[in-house]
Amino acid sequence: MDYTVASVDEALSLLVHVANSPGLGVTELAKRSGNTKARAFRLLSTLEDRGFVQRRGELATYQLGYKTLLIGLAAQEQVSLVRQAEPYLHALGERFNENVQVRVRDGLESVCVARWESTHDVRIHGGVGRTRPLHAGASGKILLAFADEALSQAYLGSELHRFTASTITQRSKLTQELSHVRQKGYATSIGEIAMDVISLAAPVRDASGQVIAALGISIPSSRLTPDGLERFIPPVCEAAQALSAELGYRHER
């Protein structure tokens, strides 16, 4: 099934043309993108309103806008994070042969940006690019616990979707859980998104000390009792701390 949205596809195609050939006018951009001039103008006007392109000069040529700079900086940070996280994912994966992943916050969700896949026949299925809400699962709770106050309060004031009987959907309980996460320096999840999944995650910080990601491991409950999660805590936390140090974080004692 094709879920492509034609107008979005057309707008992104135009944006790429502007990026590759700055200084072109609407006529040439329409020709290169396969749109009519009127259609290209409407799409470019929308991109301009959103800050993704700028129209310059009397001849109305186009170049990238400030919003693309923000995306570029975020992409650069995430690409760097993924590259530097790979050895830690590999080391934890080789040690435990369980799924290990790095998730970052994307608005009010977490998204997987890097992953090491278990070789067990029974394993947690997922992949890079998969998103989840922040209130369920170990990685999401890390990202929510260390988010800025305005975002966390807005999220806590929204409707919290229940995935299983173990999902925390009461604001007071979630607030308490997030406080515990900050105190412990890691988060656990026992069946919060899927009943047969147990997970653990620790925060990854950048040079400024901001939590930019969560490094987590997920294990099928059939291979682990809740008490058995304890042995994963030190190595996952140590890997997250080592990755943070590599990203420039220096913990002040």
Lowest mean pLDDT among 48-52, 102-106, 183-187, 221-225: 221-225
Same-domain pairing of 86 and 208: yes
CA–CA distance from 183 to each of 142, 207, 212 (Å)?
11, 21, 18
Give the Cα separation of 104 and 131 in Å (integer).
Answer: 10
**DSSP run (H or E) holding 104:** strand 99-106
pLDDT of 30 higher than 60: yes
Residue that wins the pLDDT comparison between 128 and 32: 32
The total number of structural domains that make up the chain: 2
In a domain, 44, yes or no: yes
pLDDT surpassing 70 at residue 2: no
Contact between residue 209 and residue 245 where contact means Cβ atoms under 8 Å apart: no
Domain stop point among 64, 87, 103:
64
The residues pairing with 25 across neighbouring beta strands, listed in sequence order, are 61
Residue 253 lies in a domain: no
Whether residue 175 is contained in a domain is answered as: yes
β-strand pairing of 131-133 with 99-106 = unpaired
Q: Is 246 exposed, middle or buried (0-12, 13-18, 19+ CB in 10 A)?
A: middle
Which pair of structure tokens corresponds to residue 114? 């890097």
Q: In what order do the strands lie in the sheet with 187-190?
A: 131-133, 109-116, 99-106, 211-220, 197-205, 187-190
Contact 220, 122 (CB under 8 A): yes
Contact present, 203 and 249 (Cβ < 8 Å): no
Q: Do residue 98 and residue 18 come from a single domain?
A: no
Would you place residue 76 in the very low, low, confident or very high pLDDT band (cuts 50, 70, 90)?
A: low
Domain shared by 60 and 78, yes or no: no
**Summary mean pLDDT of the chain:** 87
Is a pLDDT exceeding 60 seen at residue 1?
no
What is the helix (H) or strand (E) element at residue 139, kind and residue range? helix 138-145
Residue type, 127: G
The mean per-residue pLDDT over the stretch 81-91 comes to: 90
The parent domain of residue 102 ranges over 72-246
pLDDT tops 90 at residue 82: no
Q: Is 108 exposed, middle or buried (0-12, 13-18, 19+ CB in 10 A)?
A: middle
Asked if pLDDT for residue 89 goes beyond 90, the answer is: yes
Q: Is pLDDT above 70 for 13?
A: yes
Contact 132, 109 (CB under 8 A): yes
